[in-house]
């Protein structure tokens, strides 16, 4: 989602020209998208579509792989088509446990007015519900891969790398309802026809630029659009750029910054409908993008209800402490790593979901597999694909453990809300 490198190298030598329809044909077996955006030519500088020779077996993150996995491997969970993207592609969820049965007697806003979430949720208000999202930005692959492997753990007790994860598997007995959407934005994913980038390292001129180009898109001169400049173009007119990147759907909209109170995109509408139906306690939204000088998983403080801020801080400390103990943070000092950030995220999808259903909705950012950074001491750090998988699993596991330990929003309200 977010990249902070202050210096990137502009590439002006176009040697790879790939048409939109060719991209869609190569990258997915989904229905052909509607002609809702310009279908001109996409431009990729030389080497930008290089792919690793051996993609790890657990790295399931393309549309074809996800479709095949969900159709053939999921037996315990329930696979559902929960929406359709702007480009006409199906969006799938996998769920475990039973839904809330109560319909409630008021809106979420009304429940805040009476200081009690139960009239909104209904008679089973105390039920614990967890929701996990991947691929809100289509080419941020770590979160997609992480959710697929979490599903595999729930199905078999092991991830797709063969590692047993009994603590995560046990969450099926502790969390009443788990809803997972591996790929929220298939349009953005379909635009980039590779399964996994090559690792550009730390010092290569392309160590950051390639990944950022694929995600935020590129200008016609070959330079990246970049973060946060990409947010100036919502909806994005694809004809104005060399490549629109993986952020927007086929209507040109980055749904992290959708027109939430106006005419939301079908992907956003789908998330709103699921959130209103499931009324989750926690929504974890996985992205890719961390500071290059502290190249480890980061967690954003959401711009949400003030009463939820101490709850967020507890969640933050739990996830960060565990990541530090597993050697997956910028230092080995958990007391430093677990200090919650004071700065809030800006108003975005997390805010909208919180105000829509009352969930603590949090964005977690991962390092990329496509390039490297340094730790807090300035030492180059290498994240193996296995490290990235471990970090994803830990973040989800600790979020679910926190939900169980704290009792969810019904209990938060009694203990913390005034």
List, for residues 298-336, the tens digit of each pLDDT value: 999 999 999 999 999 999 999 999 999 999 999 999 999
Q: Which domain holds residue 385?
A: 14-415
Q: Which residues, listed in sequence order, are joined to residue 344 by a DSSP beta bridge?
A: 301
For residue 1, being part of any structural domain is answered with no
Q: Tell me if 8 is assigned to some domain.
A: no
Number of domains in the chain: 1
- The backbone torsions φ and ψ at residue 363, rounded to the nearest 5 degrees and listed phi first, read -95, 130
Query: How many CB atoms are located within 10 Å of the residue 416 CB?
Result: 14
Q: Residue written as tokens 């797709």?
A: 160
State how far the Cα of 238 lies from the Cα of 367, in Å rounded to an integer: 27
For residue 6, being part of any structural domain is answered with no
Query: What is the spatial distance between Cα 258 and Cα 145, in angstroms, rounded to a whole number?
Result: 25
Question: What 3-state class would DSSP assign to 42?
Answer: strand
Q: Is 319 left (phi over 0), alpha (psi -120 to 50) or beta?
A: alpha
Task: Transcribe 351-365 into DSSP letters.
Answer: HHHHHHH--EEEEEE
d(CA 208, CA 2): 12
Which pLDDT belongs to residue 327?
96
Predicted local distance difference test score (pLDDT) of residue 28: 37
CATH number of the domain encompassing residue 115: 3.40.630.10
270 belongs to a structural domain: yes
- Report how far residue 249's alpha carbon sits from residue 265's, in angstroms, rounded to the nearest whole number: 9
Map 365-397 to HEC letters: EECCCCCCEECCCCCEECCCHHHHHHHHHHHHH
pLDDT, residue 361, reads 98
Q: At 276, which helix (H) or strand (E)?
A: helix 266-278
Distance, CA of 254 to CA of 238 (rounded, Å): 13
DSSP 305-325: -GGGHHHHHHHHHHHHHHHHH
Whether 4 is covered by a domain: the verdict is no
Q: Does residue 109 lie within any of the structural domains?
A: yes
Chain-centroid distance, C-alpha 416: 28
Axis crossing angle, helix 266-278 with helix 349-357, rounded to the nearest 10: 40
Rounded Cα–Cα distance for residues 349 and 357 (Å):
12
Q: Is 300 left (phi over 0), alpha (psi -120 to 50) or beta?
A: beta
| Spans of the chain, pLDDT less than 50 | 1-40
| Residue 9 belongs to some domain of the structure | no
Q: What is the pLDDT of residues 34-44, one digit of tens each?
A: 332 333 468 78
364: left (phi over 0), alpha (psi -120 to 50) or beta: beta
- Helix, strand, coil distribution of the chain in percent, nearest 5: 35, 15, 50
Cis peptide before 158, with omega less than 30 degrees from 0? no
In a domain, 218, yes or no: yes
Which of 289-310 are b and which e, b meaning 16 or more Cβ less than 10 Å from the residue's Cβ?
Answer: bbbbebbbbbbbbbebbeebee
For residue 14, what are the β-bridge partners? Answer: 45
Cα–Cα distance measured from residue 417 to residue 333, given in angstroms and rounded to the nearest whole number: 31
Helix (H, G, I), strand (E, B) or coil at 243: strand
Global confidence as pTM: 0.90
3-class secondary structure for 4-35?
CCCCCCCCCCEEEEEEHHHHHHHHCCCCCCCC
Query: What SS3 class is residue 82?
Result: strand
- Looking at residue 12, its pLDDT comes to 32
Which of 410, 399, 412 lies closest to 363, judged by CA? Answer: 399
């Amino acid at each position: 989602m977010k990249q902070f490198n202050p210096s990137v190298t502009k590439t002006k030598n176009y040697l790879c020209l790939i048409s939109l329809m060719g991209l869609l044909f190569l990258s997915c077996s989904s229905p052909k998208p509607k002609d809702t955006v310009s279908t001109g030519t996409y431009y990729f500088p030389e080497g930008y579509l290089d792919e690793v020779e051996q993609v790890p077996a657990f790295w399931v993150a393309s549309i074809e792989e996800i479709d095949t996995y969900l159709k053939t491997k999921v037996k315990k969970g329930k696979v559902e088509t929960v929406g359709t993207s702007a480009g006409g592609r199906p969006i799938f969820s996998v769920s475990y446990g039973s839904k809330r049965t109560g319909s409630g007697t008021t809106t979420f806003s009304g429940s805040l007015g009476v200081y009690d979430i139960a009239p909104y949720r209904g008679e089973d208000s105390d039920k614990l519900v967890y929701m996990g999202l991947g691929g809100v930005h289509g080419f941020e692959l770590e979160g997609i891969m992480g959710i697929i492997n979490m599903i595999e753990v729930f199905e078999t007790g092991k991830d797709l790398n063969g590692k047993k994860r009994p603590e995560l598997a046990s969450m099926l007995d502790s969390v009443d309802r788990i809803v997972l959407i591996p790929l929220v934005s298939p349009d953005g994913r379909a635009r980039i026809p590779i399964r996994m980038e090559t690792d550009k390292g730390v010092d290569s001129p392309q160590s950051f630029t390639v990944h950022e180009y694929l995600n935020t898109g590129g200008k016609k001169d070959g330079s990246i659009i970049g973060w946060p400049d990409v947010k100036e173009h919502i909806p994005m007119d694809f004809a104005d750029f060399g490549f629109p990147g993986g952020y927007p759907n086929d209507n040109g909209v980055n749904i992290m910054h959708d027109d939430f109170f106006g005419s939301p995109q079908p992907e956003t509408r789908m998330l709103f409908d699921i959130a209103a139906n499931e009324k989750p306690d926690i929504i974890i939204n996985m992205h890719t993008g961390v500071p290059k000088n502290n190249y480890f998983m980061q967690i954003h403080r959401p711009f949400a209800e003030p009463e939820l801020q101490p709850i967020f801080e507890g969640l933050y400390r739990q996830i960060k402490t565990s990541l530090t103990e597993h050697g997956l943070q910028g230092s080995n000092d958990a007391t430093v790593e677990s200090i919650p950030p004071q700065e809030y995220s800006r108003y975005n999808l997390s805010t909208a979901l919180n105000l829509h259903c009352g969930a603590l909705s949090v964005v977690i950012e991962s390092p990329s597999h496509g390039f490297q950074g340094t730790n807090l001491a300035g030492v180059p750090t290498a994240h193996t694909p296995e490290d990235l998988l471990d970090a994803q699993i830990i973040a989800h596991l600790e979020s679910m453990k926190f939900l169980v330990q704290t009792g969810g929003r019904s209990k938060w309200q009694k203990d913390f809300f005034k």
